[in-house]
Amino acid sequence: MSTTPEQKLLLAQKRFGNLIRAIPVGVVMVNPDGIIEAVNPAIVKMFGYSERELAGLDFRMLLQTVPWADEAELLAWHNSNPEKAIELRGVKKSGGSLPVDVSVSQLDNESRRQLLLIMMQDVSERVKIEKMKQEFFDMVSHDMRTPLCSISLLVDMLQENASDLPDDTREEIKKIGNNSKHVTRLINDLLDIEKVEAGEIKLIYGLFSLSEMIMNAIDVVQAQATKRKVNLVAASSELIVCADQDRVLRVLINLISNAIKFSPKGGKIEISFVDQPDETIVSVKDEGRGIPSNMQELVFERFKQVEAADATSKGGSGLGLAICKGFIEAHGGRIGVESAVGQGSKFWFSIPHRDISEFAAEQSGANAEE
Ligand SMILES: Nc1ncnc2c1ncn2[C@@H]1O[C@H](COP(=O)(O)OP(=O)(O)OP(=O)(O)O)[C@@H](O)[C@H]1O
Ligand SMILES: [Mg+2]
């Protein structure tokens, strides 16, 4: 006997019901007043109530604080964030709490009553891992940076009074100094990249002369350039930009220092900028080995280097460009490279123009708060 279309539909509905009951995500069906009509077993497991206890109750009792005043707000939130989940605190029957990702969708049914499906996912594991990560970074920043700082100070003191020591001892002290500086820089870079990825970069905007900033960056890398006999040529103009000076300086230092690392002896590096209607573009052009096209996007990812030996032979960890990208994108700018193997590279970044009157208003607001 063959099954009718109605029977097929019933079977499919039954299977779908079984699926909702089996999935490990909590599902609560509520009516337009927020009253629970049905829950799946995952909700029972997460909150410790039985299905019967929950039926007829307001779903808000499962959450510590609800960011929506009523169902209309809940629906408006859902409509503007259709794919999005929000992390809230769930309250168990025992009184304990758990972190849950909550998302909402609308369910059309025959009686035309607008039912809502509220999905809740227990994210305790994710929150635990985030906490461990945070603790690790706190530990790195405090417990490792502090002793390294003392080692560096001690080495500086030893170097100042090292004139009586034998040459090889002085050389060893110098090596300790360089290594501790290298590890300190790596730790600082890791902490920065962590901030970039967590979206926690807070920019401190200010007005400054781009030419002066380029001269500052050159001061920092001049010794490295002289050592490699590389010639630095910089453009100069009266241009004033509005950006986070420290962050843009670090971007420039990394780009110029990369250009020096990969330049041939006697090579030239040009640092220039052009002011366009919406943004200022700064570029650093070298005559080095260039970057293959398949790596031109990848080098902006952390720990990505064109050649495995770049970490050892050129002394770098592959974090510099990832940090540059984070700093520039935090400004709303773009960063990229034009290059061809054997023909040098031109790294560039943009600083979007800011409305100076808006910036002045922000400044006076900040001053008033102080
Ligand atoms: N100007 C350049 N010419 C050729 N290759 C480059 C240039 N700049 C960067 N690269 C390639 O991109 C990689 C990543 O650069 P990035 O600045 O992120 O790291 P790094 O310089 O190796 O280390 P760090 O900046 O953390 O000390 C480099 O290792 C190199 O392979
Ligand atoms: Mg670098």
Full pLDDT tens readout for the chain, 370 residues: 577 878 887 887 788 788 888 888 999 998 888 899 999 999 999 999 999 999 999 999 999 988 887 777 877 887 787 778 889 999 999 999 999 999 888 876 665 667 888 999 999 998 998 888 878 877 877 788 888 888 888 998 998 888 888 989 988 998 888 888 888 888 888 888 888 888 888 889 999 999 999 999 999 999 999 999 999 999 888 999 999 999 999 999 999 999 999 999 999 999 999 999 999 999 999 999 999 999 999 999 988 899 878 877 777 888 899 999 999 999 999 999 999 999 999 999 999 998 777 776 766 666 655 5
- Owning domain of residue 99: 5-122
d(C-alpha 61, C-alpha 81), whole Å: 23
Token pair for 155: 């080495």
Examine the fold and report which residue of 102, 122, 142 is the final residue of a domain before the chain moves on: 122
d(C-alpha 350, C-alpha 282), whole Å: 6
Same domain, residue pair 20 and 103 = yes
Residue 366 lies in a domain: no
Measured CA to CA in angstroms, residue 35 lies from 29, 61, 62 at distances of 8, 10, 12
Residue 347 lies in a domain: yes
Examine the fold and report which residue of 198, 222, 246 is the final residue of a domain before the chain moves on: 198
Res 256: pLDDT: 97
Examine the fold and report which residue of 140, 172, 198 is the final residue of a domain before the chain moves on: 198
Residue 284 lies in a domain: yes
Same domain, residue pair 132 and 239 = no
Res 268: pLDDT: 97
**What's at 194, amino acid-wise?**
E
Work out which ligand 1 atom sits closest to the CA atom of 321. Answer: 18
- Mutate which of 221, 232, 284, 299 for ligand 1? The one with the most ligand atoms within 8 Å of its CB, which is 299
In angstroms, what is the span from residue 72 Cα to ligand 1's centroid?
52
Residue 341 lies in a domain: yes
Same domain, residue pair 30 and 143 = no
Residue 134 lies in a domain: yes
Same domain, residue pair 217 and 354 = yes
Same domain, residue pair 173 and 79 = no
Q: Residues within 5 Å of ion ligand 2 by Cβ?
A: 254, 258, 316, 320
The residue nearest atom 25 of ligand 1, judged by CA position, is: 320
CA angle 71, 77, 79 (to 5 degrees): 100
Work out which ligand 1 atom sits closest to the CA atom of 286. Answer: 1
- Here the CATH number for the domain that contains residue 21 is 3.30.450.20
254 lines ligand 1 (CB under 6 A): yes
| Runs of H (alpha helix) within 289-319 | 310-313
In angstroms, what is the span from residue 347 Cα to ligand 2's centroid?
12
Residue 61 lies in a domain: yes
Total of domains in the chain: 3
The residue nearest atom 8 of ligand 1, judged by CA position, is: 258
Question: Beta 268-275 vs 231-234: how paired, if at all?
Answer: parallel
Residue 267 lies in a domain: yes
Same domain, residue pair 84 and 219 = no
**Could you give the count of Cα atoms lying within 13 Å of 310 in the half-sphere of its Cβ?**
17
Residue 364 lies in a domain: no
